[in-house]
Amino acid sequence: MLRLNAYPQKGFTLVELAIVLIIIGIIVGSVTKGRDLIRSAENKRIYSTFLNEWRIAYMTFNERTGRILGDKDNNGRADSANGTATLVNSASTSAYLGIADVGINPPTAQAGVNPWEYRYADSRGVTRVMRIGFGYQGGGSGYNYMRIRTMTDELSRSIDVNIDGVADGTAGFFIRNNGSADWSVNPASGTLPTNNARWIMDF
């Protein structure tokens, strides 16, 4: 006659459970770390292939013409900070000389996207459109700057570190538009809050 309990079942020991939990922790940590590395690489790509390329175009334009890119009134002050097609238009269609007229190709970081825009996904997968333009800050120590709109806190800090070596919105050449040192002071919302920043072009 067969005995139902001939082969009694045993549960996991505490040691076995601990080992399983450790393995799960390692896997989760690896996935998170991998995701962070991917996002970090994308942030650096945005800086190098978009923002810095526009900075180079700005400086090259100034060297070739003696003028400021975005200066429609030719008074040494850029005035297209909101991001506009006139950044790359020719002299015949804008009030100032366009970069194409002096042999400078506008940076094209992404196919099918305006040269002054960059599309990226934030950490929640929401598509954002970063836009740049050039403006002038008046006052006692006025300066020309590249205005960068619609950056998440994470992206803002990453770019600040790339440019200034530290994520401080009031120090160096890359500053927060509202004058705050902390890139993450925006309140939480349904979608990640975004910042506007200025990259000072008068070096």
Nearest in space to 35 (alpha carbons), one of 121, 129, 164? 121
127: in domain: yes
9: in domain: no
Into how many domains does the chain fold?
1
Residues 6+ apart with CB under 8 A from 101: 90, 91
Q: pLDDT tens, 164-190?
A: 999 888 889 999 887 777 787 555 555
66: in domain: yes
Nearest in space to 46 (alpha carbons), one of 180, 202, 197? 197
Percent of the chain with pLDDT over 90: 14
- Determine the pLDDT at residue 203: 62
Largest CA distance in the chain: 104
8: in domain: no
Question: pLDDT class for 86, splitting at 50, 70, 90?
Answer: very low
Residue ranges making up the domain that contains 32: 15-200
- Alpha-carbon distance of 26 to 178, in angstroms, equals 41
2: in domain: no
Q: pLDDT tens, 24-41?
A: 877 776 665 566 666 778
Q: pLDDT tens, 89-143?
A: 444 444 445 777 788 887 877 878 888 889 998 878 888 888 888 888 887 778 9
What number is the average pLDDT over the span 146-171?
89
Looking at per-residue pLDDT, the higher value among 163 and 87 belongs to 163
7: in domain: no
8 A C-beta contact, residue 88 and residue 116? yes
* Burial (Cβ within 10 Å: 0-12, 13-18, ≥19) of residue 21: exposed
10: in domain: no
8 A C-beta contact, residue 69 and residue 99? yes
4: in domain: no
